[in-house]
Chain A
Amino acid sequence: MTSPGRTVRIASGQGFWGDWLEAPVRQVEGGPIDYLMMDYLAEVTMSIMQKQRSRDPSRGYATDFIPLMERILPTVVERGIRITANAGGVNPRACADAVIAVARRLGLAGRIRVGIVTGDDILDRLDELMDGGHALANMDTGAPLTTVRGSVLSANAYLGAASIVEALRQGAEIVITGRVTDTGLTLGPMMHEFGWAPDDWDRLAAGTVAGHIIECGAQCSGGNCLVDWKGIPHLEDPGYPIVEARADGTFGVTKHAGTGGRISVPSITEQLVYEMGDPQHYITPDVVADFTTIQLEQAGPDRVRVKGVRGRPATAFLKVSVAYFYGYKAVGTLVYAWPEALEKARAADRILRERLARLGLAFEEVLTEFVGADATHGPLAGPPNADLPEVQLRIGVRARERAPVERFTREIAPLILNGPPSVTGFAGGRPKVEEIVAYWPALIAKSEIRARVEVVEA
Chain B
Amino acid sequence: MGLKGRGAFKRSPGTKGTRRSAVPPVRRSVQLRFLAHARSGDKGDTANVGLIALRPAFYPLLEREVTAARVAEHFRGMLTGGVERFELPNLRALNFLLHGALGGGGTLSLKTDAQGKVFSTALLRMEIPVPADLDV
**Is the Cβ of B112 less than 8 Å from the Cβ of A438?**
no
A276 interface residue per 8 A CB criterion: yes
Contact A278 B107 (CB under 8 A): no
- Whether A146 sits at the interface, judged by CB under 8 Å, is no
Determine whether the beta carbon of B52 is less than 8 Å from that of A367: no
Task: Chain B residues near A397: list those with CB within 8 A.
Answer: 110
Cα A437 to Cα B99 in complex, Å, equals 21
Q: Which of A308, A375, A436 contacts B107 (CB 8 A)?
A: A436
Contacts of A274 in B (CB 8 A): 39-41, 48, 50
A181 to B121, CA, bound (A): 29
- The CA of A269 and the CA of B52, in the complex, are separated in Å by 8
Would you list which residues of chain B between 82 and 113 have a CB under 8 Å from chain A?
86-91, 93, 95, 97, 103-104, 106-108, 110-113
List A contacts of B106 (CB < 8 A).
Answer: 43-44, 438-439
Please determine whether A266 and B90 come into contact, CB atoms closer than 8 angstroms: no
Which one of A266, A292, A331 contacts B52 once the chains associate, using CB atoms below 8 Å? A266
Chain B residue contacts of A331, Cβ below 8 A: 110
A292 CB contacts on chain B under 8 angstroms: 87-91
**Which of A61-69, A195-203, A293-301, A344-352 participates in binding chain B?**
A293-301
Whether B107 pairs with A277 at a CB distance below 8 angstroms is no
Interface residues of B in 55-106 (CB under 8 A from A): 74-75, 77-78, 86-91, 93, 95, 97, 103-104, 106
Whether the pair A375, B50 counts as a contact (CB closer than 8 A) is: no
Which residues in window 342-400 of A have CB below 8 A to B? 365, 367, 369, 371, 375-380, 394, 396-398
Please tell me if the beta carbons of B120 and A226 are within 8 angstroms of each other in the complex. yes
Nearest-CB residue, chain B, relative to A379: B77
Indicate if the CB atoms of A438 and B88 lie closer than 8 Å: no
A273-B107 CB under 8 A given contacts A226-B39, A378-B78, A379-B78: no
Q: Are B91 and A269 in contact (CB under 8 A)?
A: yes
Total interface residues on B, using CB and 8 Å? 41
Chain B residues closer than 8 Å to A441, beta-carbon distance: 44
> In whole angstroms, how far apart are the Cα atoms of A279 and B48 in the complex?
11
Say how far B124's CB is from chain A's closest CB, in angstroms.
8
Q: Is A128 an interface residue (CB 8 A)?
A: no
B122 on interface, CB distance cutoff 8 Å: yes
Nearest neighbor of B106 in chain A, beta-carbon distance? A439
Residues on A with C-beta less than 8 A from B52 are: 266, 269-270, 273
Q: A226–B121 Cα gap in the complex (Å)?
A: 9
Contacts of B28 in A (CB 8 A): none
Q: Is the CB of B37 within 8 A of A276?
A: no
**Residues of chain B within 8 A of A338, CB atoms compared:** none
**Alpha-carbon distance between A43 and B115 when the two chains are bound, in angstroms:** 12
Contacts of A439 in B (CB 8 A): 44, 106-107
Q: Inside 8 A of B38's CB, which chain A residues have their CB?
A: 226, 270
Given contacts A274-B39, A365-B103, A439-B107, contact A376 B90 (CB under 8 A): no
Chain A minimum-CB-distance residue to B120: A226
A291 within 8 A of B: yes
In the bound complex, what is the Cα–Cα distance between A100 and B42 (angstroms)?
37
Alpha-carbon distance A354/B87, docked complex (angstroms): 48
B103 to A277, Cβ gap below 8 A? no
Interface range for A: 35 or more
Contact with A along B106-136 (1 / 0, CB 8 A): 1110111100011011100100000000000
By CB atoms of chain B within 10 A, which of A291, A377, A441 has the most?
Answer: A377
Give A219's nearest chain B residue, CB to CB: B39
Contact status B122-A380, CB under 8 Å: yes
In the bound complex, residues from chain B placing their C-beta under 8 Å from that of A394 are 112
Chain A residues with Cβ under 8 A from B42's Cβ? 275
Residue pair B37, A291 in contact (C-beta under 8 Å) = no
| With A277-B48, A326-B107, A436-B107 as contacts: A227 and B88 at CB distance below 8 Å | no
Task: Name the A residues within 8 Å of B125 (CB-CB).
Answer: 377, 380
* A270, B86: Cβ atoms closer than 8 Å: no
For chain A residues 308-329, which have a beta carbon within 8 Å of chain B?
308, 326, 329
Contact between chains at B91 and A296 (CB < 8 Å): yes
Q: Is A14 an interface residue (CB 8 A)?
A: no
Chain B's closest residue to A296 (CB) is B91
CA distance A42 to B78 in the complex (A): 26
Contact indicator A277/B39 (Cβ below 8 Å): no
Contact residue among A270, A295, A371, A379 (Cβ-Cβ distance under 8 Å from B112) = A371
Q: Which residues of B contact A376 (CB under 8 A)?
A: 112-113, 118, 121-122
Q: Which residues of A contact B97 (CB under 8 A)?
A: 277
Complex Cα–Cα for A441 and B89 (A)? 30
A162 at the interface (CB under 8 A from B): no
Closest to A43 in B: B106
3 shortest interchain CB distances as A-B pairs: A273-B50, A396-B110, A275-B41
- Further 16 A-B residue pairs, CB within 8 A, beyond A296-B91, A365-B103: A266-B52, A270-B38, A272-B91, A273-B39, A273-B95, A274-B40, A276-B48, A276-B50, A277-B43, A279-B95, A295-B90, A367-B110, A371-B112, A376-B122, A380-B74, A438-B106
A-B contacts, 14 listed (Cβ < 8 Å): A140-B44, A273-B39, A273-B50, A276-B95, A277-B43, A277-B48, A291-B88, A291-B91, A292-B89, A367-B110, A367-B111, A376-B121, A376-B122, A380-B122
List residues of B whose CB falls within 8 A of some A CB.
37-45, 48, 50, 52, 54, 74-75, 77-78, 86-91, 93, 95, 97, 103-104, 106-108, 110-113, 117-118, 120-122, 125
